[in-house]
Amino acid sequence: MKKIYFFRWSWRDEIDETSTSPYTRLFEEDETKTYIYYRAEHRPYYTSRYFYLEGEDIEAVKERLMENMPLLTSEDLIDQLKDGKDILNRRSAIYQLGILWCGQPFEQPIYDIFEKILLQEQAEVKIAALYGMAWTCWKEIIPLVKMALNDKEEEVRRHASLLLEGLSKYEKNS
């Protein structure tokens, strides 16, 4: 059985993935003039597919997306983190958890998850967590990033240093 759905979206642009930005398809929702960015990233430490919304009526577009597509929640991603067998799935889950909290107020339970990852996990999962934390833009994550500067793995330290540098630039421009 097949079923086809059409959204009230106008196609605006398509951008190929590069080493510094994800593959992006840009649509505009006709009713609300809200932009819908579909993004897909395939990085060494994680993979991710997500929607990024920008505009006047984000909630209405989000509701329509959720009615028609199986979107992951924080709870889904936290459950994926508990799966010790699939390391890529775990790396992607912690990264996507950060994306999900982009633009949201600080939440201690989410912070605690990032902290636990940085204290206990393999280097690749820690690096994915660092990139996920960057999405939150919470000033509260800075001590965690500084903690990662002292990690036993050089690659974790290198990515923490890059993130700290990026966060300081973001703070100056905010």
111-149 pLDDT, tens per residue? 999 999 999 889 999 999 999 999 998 999 999 999 999
Give per-residue pLDDT as tens, 68-86.
Answer: 888 888 999 999 988 767 8
The ranges of the chain annotated as CATH 1.25.10.10 are 73-174
Give per-residue pLDDT as tens, 22-81.
Answer: 999 999 988 888 999 999 988 888 888 888 899 988 888 888 888 888 888 899 999 998
Average pLDDT over residues 84-110: 91
Distances (CA, A) of 63 to 26, 36, 70, 71, 157: 18, 13, 12, 11, 39
pLDDT for the residue 1: 65
d(C-alpha 91, C-alpha 48), whole Å: 10
CATH of 73-174, one of 1.10.340.30, 3.50.40.10, 3.40.1410.10, 1.25.10.10: 1.25.10.10
Q: What is the number of residues in the chain?
A: 174
Q: Count Cβ atoms within 10 A of the Cβ of residue 103 and give its class: 0-12 exposed, 13-18 middle, 19 or more buried.
A: exposed
Q: φ and ψ at 100, to 5 degrees?
A: -60, -30
pLDDT for the residue 52: 86
Triad 144, 148, 151: Cα angle to 5°: 145
pLDDT for the residue 60: 87
Residue 4 has pLDDT above 80, yes or no: no
pLDDT for the residue 23: 93
Confidence grade of residue 103 (pLDDT, cut at 50, 70, 90): confident
Global pTM?
A: 0.81
d(C-alpha 3, C-alpha 37), whole Å: 23
Q: What single-letter DSSP state applies at residue 26?
A: E
